[in-house]
Amino acid sequence: MSFPLVILLCVGLLQETAGAVHMDKLADNKICGDAECSYVVSMATVLDDFIAPDCRFINLRLGQKVYVYSKLIPEEGAGVFWSGSVYSERYVDQMGIVGYFPATMVNETQKFIENTVKVATTNMDFYCD
């Protein structure tokens, strides 16, 4: 095998492994507790199981608590999605993972922040590893 061919092959493999996927945007704007969306807006209880259709979403199980960090402002004809993280003593492996889920799958039980901020979404909001 020639040296240039080996270099080309290695570069191709690096590009393939380092490439991340930018998924379609679910919305252009979101509602958050602050400009960085770092504060928990509310807490919700999961009403039914939800299996994540892709890497932008998180799995939910009936009865779990979810910390809500942002609420996407839906486009016309689009679904309503919120971003959050599961809190559960039973499913510890999912704790700390932030992702989207349908707002209809949860019941908002407690609001922590009343004065919210409208923030534009970015491609990083829908980035998949």
11, 22, 30, 96 from 16: Cα distances, Å? 9, 14, 32, 28
Q: Which amino acid is at 126?
A: F
Structure-token match 């998924």, residue found: 23
pLDDT in tens, 51-79: 999 989 999 999 999 999 999 998 876 67
Say if CB 31 and CB 116 are below 8 A apart.
yes
Average pLDDT over residues 108-118: 94
Record: fold of 23-126: SH3 type barrels. (2.30.30)
Alpha carbon distance 46, 66 (integer Å): 7
Structure-token match 């839906």, residue found: 74
Question: Between β-strands 98-102 and 42-46, what pairing exists: parallel, antiparallel or unpaired?
Answer: unpaired
Helical residues (DSSP H) of the chain, grouped into ranges: 3-18
pLDDT at 8: 43
pLDDT in tens, 5-60: 444 444 444 444 445 566 788 899 999 999 999 999 999 999 999 999 998 999 99
Does the pLDDT value for residue 83 go beyond 90?
yes
pLDDT at 21: 64
